[in-house]
Structure 1
Amino acid sequence: MISPDTLALLIYMSRRALPPLRALQAFEAAARHLSFAKAAAELGVTPGAVSHQIKMLEDWLGEALFHRLTRALRLTEAGEAALPLMTEGFDHLAAATAKMQVRKDDHLLTISVSPGFGSLWLVPRLDRFRRKYPDIEVRLDGTDRLVDIAAGEADVAIRYGMGGYSGVQSDRLFAMRAIPVCSPSVLSLGPSLRSPSDLKDHTLLHVEWKEAEGSWRTWLLAAGATDVDPFKGPRFTKEEMAVRAALVGEGVALIGDRMAADHLASGRLVRPFHAELSTPLVFAYFLLVQKDRRDDPKIASFRNWLLDEAQSFQGTDTPLS
């Protein structure tokens, strides 16, 4: 004798007894187009695969769904009756899936940021944001490519430039000054480094992409160290690589003071010269937000937090060795 629990399970299973989803998709597409070839193009499979899935469905149902004519398809009575409900069902599935995706995306914040700014400044501070907004999941897209935030490639972007970005709200975070930095071991173990002219006996580490506004040549001229070759030493396309080289004692890097601040505060890097020996950089970092999305809760939360972080950060002095 069947127990009530077993009977309930069998009734549930009978209500949910459905043919494979792929077969239903193949039928719905082929029935709309009255063409296996057009259905195949929509589904990204071959016409043979569509035909096979429909044959499986017909076998499962024990009912023909198409009249297969020489150069055409025509729905049977069963096929005609099923098509409107099937299309409506797939529409409901698509809408339900979209709702699930929206719920997921409501809590996912994608930040487009250059690898240098991301690794040297933003990442060390992100834990404070996560603790303040634990329900917001952060995704960092580390790229120098100009992403289209209007098209949804990212929720916000942090970029280095002159400002004046069109079509978006831009908030200036901070500008920087170029400063020489090195590992403490360079001062303790290497040749003397008491004045800028002493750099002639040290390796200069260059950040290639920033040389248009903050090169060693500009800094050395401002410091009066005309006897130092401003072009010697390795060149790096990424700021974080030059910082890494400086950290392991490979030479003296010319870095934006804000990008070096955390390493200076920890003592992993030091400034060999007085604070006045720095050159202002023309560009600044900006936060970019699509204007019609600035009130989105996750975007507004990040924007307010980041502006507060930038403001408090500008109020601190860059440590001097």
Structure 2
Amino acid sequence: MATRLPPVHALSAFEAAARHSSFAVAAEELCITPSALSHRIRLLEEHLCERVFVREGRSVTLTEFGRRYLDVVRVALRTLAEFPLPNKITQNQLRVKVTVPPTFARYMFMPKLAEFTRQYPQIEIEIFLFVPLYDLSLSESDVEVRFGAGEYPNLVTKKLFVEPAFLVASPAYLKTIAPIKTPNDLRHATLLRSALEPWQPWFEVAGLDWPEPTSGLRIDDLGLLLEAVKHGHGVGLTRQHFAQDLIASGEVVRLFDTQLDAPPHAYYLVHEAQAIMRPEVQLFIDWMQTSYQQD
């Protein structure tokens, strides 16, 4: 029967935190965030069913079990580190881990990423995805792009850009319903719902005293919402960056000139506050702000 071993990354986090008696210093050494290091320690303690540290404010000290376990961990890590690997080439790779929402990644991040790699070919980018409004904790990423209200306590938050929201529908769908010539005619249409693009703010701008729709297809992914519009499921709210190609091809059309200039949700660049930011991470943050604020 296979024996379940603790994750190596949790063991290295434990050893570094024990050596420095500090999660923050250990996190800096391992090039991860303090919250990511804390997560790794919790993962190890859950695996062991034992506490390895006593946390007192910002200081940490080893428990009696932790002191005994540390000796074992150091021997194991030393054995792994010193094992000869004849084909391995040692190199110090600069790396930035970034977490982004899937629609942002597909429509806005990937088309621009080549610019960054051309400017900084020595920096490797690792991309992770998460669902907006659901996962709100920085894990092992250096930087996150979040789509939301921008209220993230204890994190450095910078708005990337402001983009209006407007209505789109497919020509095929519009042929199946009564003509939509004014916003009030939307009573004949199916309004696609999303927590990411609520209807109420747009209703107010359009002069409609309507409540937020509570029935019908709901999709909490902006790219998938646009796909639903394209395939004739109803009318949806979208942004120019996402819809411009479909509008240009005629697969969807914009309805009305009315738009919501300041939607409740926008894209924000988020990271933990650090006294010393790794140079490659700072380069990436600066590039993101410059790149998207120019649009």
Band the TM-score falls in, shorter-chain normalisation: 0.5 to 0.7
| Shift in Å, 1:308 | 1.7
Find the partner of 1:147 among 134, 137, 147.
137
| Shift in Å, 1:257 | 4.6
Deviations 1:79-107 (A, max 9, x none): xxxxxxxx98973752789xx89946x33
Q: State the match for 2:99 in structure 1.
A: 112
Check whether the contact 1:160–1:285 (CA below 8 A) recurs between aligned residues: yes
Unaligned 5+ runs, structure 1: 1-43, 45-86, 314-321
Counterpart Cα distance in 2 of 1:174 and 1:200: 32
Deviations 1:247-283 (A, max 9, x none): 2232211234554455445654331111x34363234
Check whether the contact 2:100–2:130 (CA below 8 A) recurs between aligned residues: yes
1:286 matched to 2:268? The reply is: yes
| Shift in Å, 1:180 | 0.9
Find the partner of 2:184 among 197, 220, 237.
197
Counterpart Cα distance in 2 of 1:294 and 1:267: 49
| Shift in Å, 1:113 | 1.6
Equivalent positions of 1:1-321 (< 5 A) are 91=78, 94=81, 103=91, 106-144=93-131, 145-148=135-138, 153-163=140-150, 165-187=152-174, 191-207=178-194, 209-210=195-196, 214-225=197-208, 230-261=213-244, 263-264=246-247, 267-274=250-257, 276-278=258-260, 280-292=262-274, 295-313=277-295
Counterpart Cα distance in 1 of 2:219 and 2:75: 57
What is the TM-score of this pair, normalised by structure 2? 0.58
Unaligned 5+ runs, structure 2: 1-46, 48-73
Secondary structure of the corresponding residue to residue 138 of structure 1? strand
Secondary structure of the corresponding residue to residue 253 of structure 2? coil
Check whether the contact 2:102–2:130 (CA below 8 A) recurs between aligned residues: yes
| Shift in Å, 1:303 | 1.4
Q: Among all aligned residue pairs of Structure 1 and Structure 2, give the percentage whose two residues are the same amino acid.
A: 28
Check whether the contact 2:168–2:253 (CA below 8 A) recurs between aligned residues: yes
| Shift in Å, 1:223 | 1.7
Larger radius of gyration: 1
Counterpart Cα distance in 2 of 1:143 and 1:290: 17
Q: State the match for 1:28 in structure 2.
A: none
What is the TM-score of this pair, normalised by structure 1? 0.54
Corresponding pairs, count: 217
Q: State the match for 1:22 in structure 2.
A: none
